[in-house]
Structure 1
Amino acid sequence: MGLTLKSNNSKVKQVFGPVWILVVFTILALSFLTLARFGLSVWQGERVFGSHAWLSIFIGGLIVDIATLSYIIMPALLLTLVMQSINWQNKVCGLIKIYLVAMSALLVFFEVITPTFINEYDLRPNRLFIEYLIYPKEISKMIFSGYKLDVVIVVITLVLSCKFASKVFSHQWQRKSSLTRLNQSILALVLVCLTILGARNSLGHRPLNPAMVSFSTDHLLNDLTLNSLYSVVFALKQLSNEQSSQDYYGKMPTNELLSIVRNNMQNTQAAFSDLTAPTKTFHAASNTGKPKNLVIILQESLGARYVGTLGGLPLTPNIDALYKQGWGFDNLYATGTRSVRGIEAVITGFTPTPSRAVVKLDKSQHNFFTIADFLAKKNYNTQFIYGGESHFDNMRSFFLGNGFKDIVDTNNFNKIDFNGSWGASDEDLYDQADLELTKLEKQNKPFFSLIFSSSNHSPYDFPDNKITLYDKQKQTRNNAAKYADYALGTFIEKAKKSSYWDNTVFIVIADHDSRVSGSNLVPVDHFRIPAVIFGKGIAHKRDDQLASQLDIPVTLLSLIGASGEHPMIGHDLSKPISDNKQRAMMQYDKNFAYMHGNKVVVLQPQKPATTYTYSNNKLVPCENDEQLIKKALAHANLGNLAYTNGWYH
């Protein structure tokens, strides 16, 4: 029987000829990707099997894998068929084997790194993976500091898989086909048609895309149907196109969109007279006295779950103390999951989109509204202080092009006692900030300074013997959050004794939560962040109204006495806001959430909008609220239209 099977296998090889190696590659790759998906599903078993999602994951996964492999083998198939027809197959044999080994290595690499990526982002590798590749120095430091074991596993797995693939493909190479020329041509035509059909995986107008195999309200379950190479390549394609939110969520007439957005703004009497900036209107500051300085302290990766006073872990005694002294927000939500999204919201008040944050987009590098540019025109000194290298995430270029006059990064620090993977420690950052603010105060003109921390970022490097560790192992999220709070406390003590304290409004606010994850389409609870405004003259208040990061820059301008026209649609939280206008907006990968009261509308690419009740940190499906869906769609599409049409200036 064994001889018969071997003989049959040999006959099949002879029939396929040089194409047989592509068949072997496809079988091996499909088996590997299915096994990898099975391993991830078992690892996430509580979410997969608890929701009975395994069948959808594996059927959808097979569809995606076939499409992925069809795209991979298509160039090799065409080359093989052409060379076979002119008897040059020996000359391209080595080239095809190298190509298939390289493709095997790519498939293996992306699947092996997937568990680490899921641990961090609760998603397969996607556009974040691509964006991080732009900064090899910072990322390599982070990887080799915090993920040494992962690197070893990846390298060993790649070496072994490449050796295995090379051996198999060399052994399985078949020089000639036993078929006649006519039958070879028929087989070639069939294989090309099957490959094209497999790549499109659809007879409809659109080829396969992730929306076609998504089935769950759990974002990770939808991602498990993909393979990681497909996920990254699809993200790269979308990144190059910067697909608009209208292509994702559906279109709305511009006049209707602007009417909805304007009606949801705070001032019902606002006049919109600038056709080139349809959301620009005059905003009167609540502070009518002498203009004050403004200092924004943007805290890296600090979700509400790490802040004791917000019901989180007891890691932030200094922020907790600020909540007892200043104006603390209990129900404030970030717009995204990355630092550039937090910068976008807090510095520009720009609504989130499925595209990259405006910090990184080409058309927003000059003449794009920021509060720095707004204040610079009011004779403010404007400054950005960062413990790392300010070119990261394109911050330096964006800031210098849009109102920041001075950039102070690690290259300009007077001293650095501790240098981690992301640059100077938060203590060093705040020491330098105190020096900079003292110098600015002596210039007898108001100033605005943005201070951006970095110690609370993987791999969580911070100095020894500064805090009592919360976790036994030093380099953990919890310990880094506790150290970041400790460093902040040292700065606040200095600031209270400084020359700039009396005339400055301060805010501590997170850019986003760390490791945003969960089984909802948008894990709303992981978007809740701390923010507290403090300084001389700021009355103590606990504010539980629903608010967004977008409201913060408008509020801060009002508190420092900076009246004027600008295009931001955020609310001034120092003034009354009717309940029907309170809202938060959240962008989670390709999904957009619009929250009003306890209702949340979620928009997904190429899918109908859905409405949920937000209860006990979960989204519970409910009857669609058509008016709320319209509000969500208008605000989801506003950013893309404003960017494309140059409205935000």
Structure 2
Amino acid sequence: MLKKLLASRYRLLAFLYLLIIGVSFATRVALLIASFRQLDPNPFQFLGIFLIGWFSDTLMSTFFLIPFVLYLWLIPNRLYYKKWFRFITYGLCFVATTLLLFNAVSEWLFWDEFSTRYNFIAVDYLIYTTEVIGNIWQSYPIVPLLIGILVCSILVLVFSKKRLKNDETQRFRFGQRSLITLALLLLPVLVFLLGSNGAKKFSNNQYASELSGNGIYDFGSAFIHNELDYDQFYAKASTHDIFTAVRKAVTSNNSTFLSDSLTSITRKIDYPGAQHNYNLVMISVESLSGDFLSRFGNTEHITPNLDSLANQGLFFDHLFATGTRTVRGLEALSISLPPTPGQSVVKRPKNENKFSLGSVLQSKGYTTQYIYGGYGYFDNMNYFFGNNGYQVIDRSAITDKKDIHYENIWGVADEDLFTLAGKTFDANYKLGKPFFSQVMTTSNHRPFTYPDGRIDIPSHTGRQGAVKYTDYAIGKFINDSRSKPWFKYTIFVIVADHCASSAGKTELPIKNYRIPMIVYAPGIIKPQTFSGLTSQIDIPPTLLGLLNVSYTSKFFGFDVFHTPASQRRAFISTYQNLGYLKGDQLVILSPQQKIEAFKVDTNSFATTPIKSSPLITNEAISYYQSASYLLRHQLYQFVK
């Protein structure tokens, strides 16, 4: 029967399966060569990459071949075996080959940017096709790549025509084809119900695990699991136990709980004396890894202005981002919430009226704003900030073309963003009220383009140039602000949204979550370095502490200057893996109730697997489970 199938029209499926395996194998080899230095010299690791990779490719093929299975089922024999009809089959093979090669190139570009197969980032990119396609068009030689793909597809078809020919005497009637189709379509159903891409997690080396995956299959998995229910997928404890632990963890020497309710972390934060009505300007910088600054050992001198400000202000050198994307950073900087699994709250439904830094300061008499150099519909920023205590000002507010020196698909150049911000602050000052404005930069993002003549690195040559240009724009903004009447009453906070890259040999490479923060306010903040462990979610309450604002808090973060070192911890995450760093231990919570623990070298941040500590594991579960609980039950709301 199998011999007859391979001689019949179903020969097409065998050809396409081998084509999938061949293109996937070549893609895997190319990615392996690009990442070879990151892999361990272990022959079993390489064996796993290719054996599990073949398995992943086979799982993907069951879905990719569905339209061809239907095609072979529905086309009657009297039509299929016409000589002219074979050109339709050739055409379908050409389309399939082009799609596979296009995906291979796309996987290469995605790997080049994120050092991983397709994941939830790729799923998000489906929503914002204008920005993503524009970014790709501006970043890569798209026309030559497309021409190359088409030429390769034609060559594959030319050399494969003979192999596509089948024995016309081996015909199957419609009823027979129906049974074959039913069996073939049962395969993707079984894969959907029973399959998993968990097999690729065969190695502790994250690069090896990603290489053993299949991009298309991983994309489908990420699409299905883009939002995860904590209670269903993660290790958990009783509601009583988790909230008891969290209430203890967020207790500080100046806080008092306002309710004995089991699920309440609402507390009064008191600071002695009057509120300091300084203006607060938070500059959240796109992809500003700590390693770019000389304070972290960089010798390229690409951040001279930030290095200078770090020496003149309050510098945090053990601060860790909660995630790997801008929306995750914006979530931490606005609502001070641990990174719950799946998508950021910024992009989730029912994300209105959350307890936010903007809402707190607005209730204290501040003008509160979110200022962005692109169009704020991207990543749902307009809706989130507009419904959580901020006035949104984005690219559409720049109506005079003279105020735009350069723009790309992500928005205007950072210097033009700061021109908009400066004009906004001038208007704020005239109102006679203190203001809080969060300014989100965009220039440190592929395609890494910016106005010519600003720095000594040409535009469009790489990330180092983009970092140095953003540094230039921030330095120019600070210098221009010195002549403003509001300058001496303003605290400037410069902090990264996340690092430039989160890829590493482990699933959560701690060092790649380390970000800088500078608090600069001459005459207000004394220059010093704070080396205590700090999470990105601690920034909102810490800033409120610097302003001496007493308020009712639901924040999971706390003022690090009023919290003992023994309570300090940090949260790092992907959309699935939830990390909890405390002292020299890291606990990682993953789907299927998986718990891993590592000992952390406090200097290099290298990790070594250890047996998990019950105390720290319980704290990790309590933080993440309680945060998910409050979101799910709409209990993390701002109430005036």
The two structures have a TM-score, normalised by structure 1, of: 0.89
- For residue 56 of structure 1, report the CA deviation from its aligned partner: 1.1
Give the Cα–Cα distance (whole angstroms) in 2 for the partners of residues 244 and 94 of structure 1. Answer: 49
- For residue 420 of structure 1, report the CA deviation from its aligned partner: 3.4
Give the Cα–Cα distance (whole angstroms) in 2 for the partners of residues 293 and 286 of structure 1. Answer: 20
What 5-or-longer segments of structure 2 have no aligned partner? none
Give the Cα–Cα distance (whole angstroms) in 2 for the partners of residues 180 and 422 of structure 1. Answer: 55
- For residue 458 of structure 1, report the CA deviation from its aligned partner: 1.2
Equivalent residue runs for 1:158-557 within 5 Å: 158=150, 160-161=152-153, 164-165=156-157, 168=160, 172=164, 174=166, 178=170, 185=176, 189=179, 192-193=182-183, 196-197=186-187, 200=190, 207-239=194-226, 242-267=227-252, 270-273=256-259, 278-285=264-271, 288-313=274-299, 314-364=301-351, 366-412=352-398, 414=400, 415-469=403-457, 475-535=461-521, 536-557=523-544
What does residue 592 of structure 2 align with? 606
User: Does the 8 A contact of 2:319 with 2:533 survive in 1?
Assistant: yes
Q: Secondary structure, in 3 states, of the residue corresponding to 2:586? A: strand
What does residue 132 of structure 1 align with? 125
Amino acid of the residue matched to residue 216 of structure 1? S
Quick check: 1:646 aligned with 2:637? Answer: no
User: Does the 8 A contact of 2:356 with 2:389 survive in 1?
Assistant: yes
User: Does the 8 A contact of 2:35 with 2:207 survive in 1?
Assistant: no
- Give 1:66's match in structure 2, choosing from 54, 58, 61: 58
Give the Cα–Cα distance (whole angstroms) in 1 for the partners of residues 189 and 28 of structure 2. Answer: 20
Cα separation, partners in 2 of 1:61 and 1:438, compared to 1, 3 Å:
same
Amino acid of the residue matched to residue 135 of structure 2? M
Amino acid of the residue matched to residue 248 of structure 1? F
Identity of aligned residues (%): 27
Give the Cα–Cα distance (whole angstroms) in 1 for the partners of residues 63 and 32 of structure 2. Answer: 25
User: Does the 8 A contact of 2:81 with 2:168 survive in 1?
Assistant: no
Quick check: 1:27 aligned with 2:15? Answer: no
Quick check: 1:109 aligned with 2:96? Answer: no
User: Does the 8 A contact of 2:275 with 2:550 survive in 1?
Assistant: no
Deviation per CA, 1:397-449: give whole Å up to 9, x if none: 11111111342435425511222342222222222212211210110112111
User: Does the 8 A contact of 2:358 with 2:368 survive in 1?
Assistant: yes
Comparing 450-459 with 317-326, greater Cα deviation is found at 317-326
Give the Cα–Cα distance (whole angstroms) in 2 for the partners of residues 274 and 403 of structure 1. Answer: 28
What 5-or-longer segments of structure 1 have no aligned partner? 1-7
Cα separation, partners in 2 of 1:33 and 1:289, compared to 1, 3 Å:
closer
What does residue 608 of structure 2 align with? 620
Cα separation, partners in 2 of 1:494 and 1:195, compared to 1, 3 Å:
same
Deviation per CA, 1:306-350: give whole Å up to 9, x if none: 011222342222222222222110100001111111111111112
Give the Cα–Cα distance (whole angstroms) in 2 for the partners of residues 181 and 447 of structure 1. Answer: 76
Quick check: 1:629 aligned with 2:620? Answer: no
Give the Cα–Cα distance (whole angstroms) in 2 for the partners of residues 31 and 408 of structure 1. Answer: 47
* Count of aligned residue pairs for this structure pair: 627
Deviation per CA, 1:572-606: give whole Å up to 9, x if none: 0232x223211110112422211111211122322
Give the Cα–Cα distance (whole angstroms) in 1 for the partners of residues 434 and 281 of structure 2. Answer: 11
Give the Cα–Cα distance (whole angstroms) in 1 for the partners of residues 520 and 474 of structure 2. Answer: 13
Comparing 565-574 with 36-45, greater Cα deviation is found at 36-45
Deviation per CA, 1:236-273: give whole Å up to 9, x if none: 2223xx22233332333222222222221132763152
User: Does the 8 A contact of 1:351 with 1:638 survive in 2?
Assistant: no
User: Does the 8 A contact of 2:418 with 2:477 survive in 1?
Assistant: yes
- For residue 153 of structure 1, report the CA deviation from its aligned partner: 2.0
Give the Cα–Cα distance (whole angstroms) in 2 for the partners of residues 284 and 102 of structure 1. Answer: 66
Give the Cα–Cα distance (whole angstroms) in 1 for the partners of residues 169 and 241 of structure 2. Answer: 64
User: Does the 8 A contact of 1:126 with 1:235 survive in 2?
Assistant: yes
Amino acid of the residue matched to residue 105 of structure 2? V
Q: Secondary structure, in 3 states, of the residue corresponding to 1:513? A: coil
Q: Secondary structure, in 3 states, of the residue corresponding to 2:9? A: helix
Amino acid of the residue matched to residue 20 of structure 1? R
Give the Cα–Cα distance (whole angstroms) in 1 for the partners of residues 145 and 225 of structure 2. Answer: 30
User: Does the 8 A contact of 1:425 with 1:462 survive in 2?
Assistant: yes
Cα separation, partners in 2 of 1:81 and 1:276, compared to 1, 3 Å:
farther
Deviation per CA, 1:149-198: give whole Å up to 9, x if none: x552244214532673598479725475637879x84x975775466357
Give the Cα–Cα distance (whole angstroms) in 1 for the partners of residues 487 and 98 of structure 2. Answer: 57
Give the Cα–Cα distance (whole angstroms) in 2 for the partners of residues 315 and 606 of structure 1. Answer: 43
- For residue 293 of structure 1, report the CA deviation from its aligned partner: 1.9
Deviation per CA, 1:67-92: give whole Å up to 9, x if none: 111123245435534656x9775699
The two structures have a TM-score, normalised by structure 2, of: 0.90
Give the Cα–Cα distance (whole angstroms) in 2 for the partners of residues 277 and 285 of structure 1. Answer: 25
Amino acid of the residue matched to residue 50 of structure 1? P
User: Does the 8 A contact of 1:602 with 1:610 survive in 2?
Assistant: yes
Comparing 456-465 with 169-178, greater Cα deviation is found at 169-178
Q: Secondary structure, in 3 states, of the residue corresponding to 2:418? A: helix
**How big is the alpha-carbon RMSD for the aligned residues of Structure 1 and Structure 2?**
3.0
Give the Cα–Cα distance (whole angstroms) in 2 for the partners of residues 166 and 591 of structure 1. Answer: 46
- For residue 129 of structure 1, report the CA deviation from its aligned partner: 1.8
Q: Secondary structure, in 3 states, of the residue corresponding to 2:317? A: strand
Equivalent residue runs for 1:578-617 within 5 Å: 578-606=564-592, 608-615=594-601, 616-617=604-605
User: Does the 8 A contact of 2:257 with 2:265 survive in 1?
Assistant: no
Q: Secondary structure, in 3 states, of the residue corresponding to 2:515? A: strand
